[in-house]
Amino acid sequence: MRSRLLAISGVLGLTSLGLYACNTPAEPTAAGTAVAASAAPAAAGMAPDTVVATWNGGQVTYGELTEELGVKLVQIEVEYLTNKYNTESQGLDQMVVSKLLEAEATAAGKADVETLLKDEVESKVAEPTEAELREFYTIMQRQLRGAAYEDVRDRLAAEVLRRKQGEQFGTYIDGLRTKYGLTSTLPSPDLPRIPVSVDDDPSIGPADAKVTIVQFAEFQCPYCGKAGESVDKVMETYGDDVRMVFRDFPLSFHPRAVPAAVAANCAGEQGQYWEMHNRLMANQRALEDADLTAHAEALKLDLSKWNTCRQDPAQTSEVMKDFEDGQAVGVSGTPAFFINGIMISGAQPFEEFKRIIDAELGKG
């Protein structure tokens, strides 16, 4: 039963969440972080004045050590607590789904859960049509590396069917959650916070919003563009309860990140920062000087003023100040978000933002 459940539910995200970000070369590897994270709780109760090293004529206290390491320890703690919660939450979800299916199989008089899934999921999903397969083939052509449709048709059919069954499974499980009155009381972790300045950077939402999200990102990183989907949904869902601040974090291996940031800030001098921001995020492969000028023309900017602004060294200095401020609070890749000081990294799904924001608003 478990193998059938996992096969059908795979597309629903019951496996661990992915983390997608453009990272600097110096960022620690996942393995190194995991080792450090697992060790972090052991020293959590150590008093700051505890001596952790001595030599003739000197010593180092635990408080001095943590002050020296600064936000690195906070990041490790956030990562550890978040990973622990996600693992517990996903494990709980899998257990609940299995138990709900067992209860429903008994209530429906089915021989077992596999029979229930065959009747309520598999039998209710039609085989993919030729039109569906052709459309999916078009979408997947890059991954298929030019393979002829006839050569991959069976693989496409199996994948389309699996996805359709996954959607049906999700709908069915949602119905069972409602039918059996499922509630979850697994508490969210109390995450440490890192004070982050909003500086004087562009923002959306009222200055006195209950939740302030400071985003460090850049225009050449594809994951920053992807994160826009979650950001847009956050602003649509929470309205005036959330303020979103954008701060530049141009990565060294993206040569057009700084010019694009300057172009957006100079558009802001004419009251069109977000219009330029949105154009650049939507056209991340069109960031050369000619492209930037075309974007400015499309926005009907005063090109003379805009070009003069772009040549001002203060504009580049402002972008690099954001970068340095980001480094100071532990940012090493884009995008990175601080939700009332709680850091999350990468192009995370809306649900990850929602979990933290709801807790901040007292709804979680």
pLDDT of amino acid 363:
64
Instruction: Considering only residues 144 and 40, tell me which one the structure prediction assigns the higher pLDDT.
Output: 144
pLDDT of amino acid 9:
56
pLDDT of amino acid 8:
58
Q: What is the mean pLDDT of the segment spanning 221-248?
A: 96
15 secondary structure, DSSP code:
S
**Does 49 score more than 70 pLDDT?**
yes
Per mean pLDDT, which range of 20-24, 280-284, 359-363 is the poorest? 20-24
pLDDT of amino acid 24:
65
pLDDT in tens, 301-338: 999 999 999 999 999 999 999 999 999 998 989 999 99
**Does 43 score more than 70 pLDDT?**
no
Q: What is the mean pLDDT of the segment spanning 206-229?
A: 96
Whether residue 196 contacts residue 341, with contact meaning beta carbons closer than 8 Å, is answered with yes
Residue 344's DSSP bridge partners are 337
**How far apart, in whole angstroms, are the C-alpha atoms of residue 332 and residue 346?**
11
**Does 201 score more than 70 pLDDT?**
yes
The pLDDT-based confidence of 25 (bands split at 50, 70, 90) is low
**Does 27 score more than 80 pLDDT?**
no
**How far apart, in whole angstroms, are the C-alpha atoms of residue 196 and residue 71?**
11
**Does 18 score more than 50 pLDDT?**
no
What percentage of the chain has pLDDT greater than the value 90?
Answer: 75
**How far apart, in whole angstroms, are the C-alpha atoms of residue 353 and residue 346?**
11
* CATH superfamily of the domain spanning 203-360: Glutaredoxin (3.40.30.10)
- Return the C-alpha torsion angle 49, 51, 53, 55, nearest 10: 110
Q: Look up the pTM and report it.
A: 0.72
pLDDT of amino acid 146:
87
**How far apart, in whole angstroms, are the C-alpha atoms of residue 21 and residue 347?**
6
Q: What is the mean pLDDT of the segment spanning 211-222?
A: 97
> Which residue in 76, 75, 44 sits closest to 338, CA to CA?
75
**How far apart, in whole angstroms, are the C-alpha atoms of residue 212 and residue 205?**
9
Per mean pLDDT, which range of 3-7, 174-178, 229-233, 329-333 is the poorest? 3-7
Write out the two tokens for 216. 């460090």
The pLDDT-based confidence of 16 (bands split at 50, 70, 90) is very low
pLDDT of amino acid 175:
97
Q: What is the mean pLDDT of the segment spanning 195-204?
A: 94
**Does 166 score more than 80 pLDDT?**
yes
pLDDT of amino acid 4:
56
pLDDT in tens, 236-292: 999 999 999 999 999 999 999 999 999 999 999 999 999 999 999 999 999 999 999
pLDDT of amino acid 190:
87
Domain boundaries, the chain: 1-41+50-189, 203-360
The three-class DSSP label of residue 344 is: strand
Instruction: Return mean pLDDT, the chain.
Output: 88
What does the buried/exposed string (b/e) look like for 205-242 if buried means 16 or more CB atoms within 10 Å of the residue's CB? beeebebbbbbbbbbbbebbbbbbebbeebbeebeebb
pLDDT of amino acid 78:
84
pLDDT in tens, 54-109: 999 999 999 999 889 888 888 888 889 988 998 999 999 999 999 999 999 999 99
pLDDT of amino acid 191:
86
The residue behind tokens 């499309």 is 298
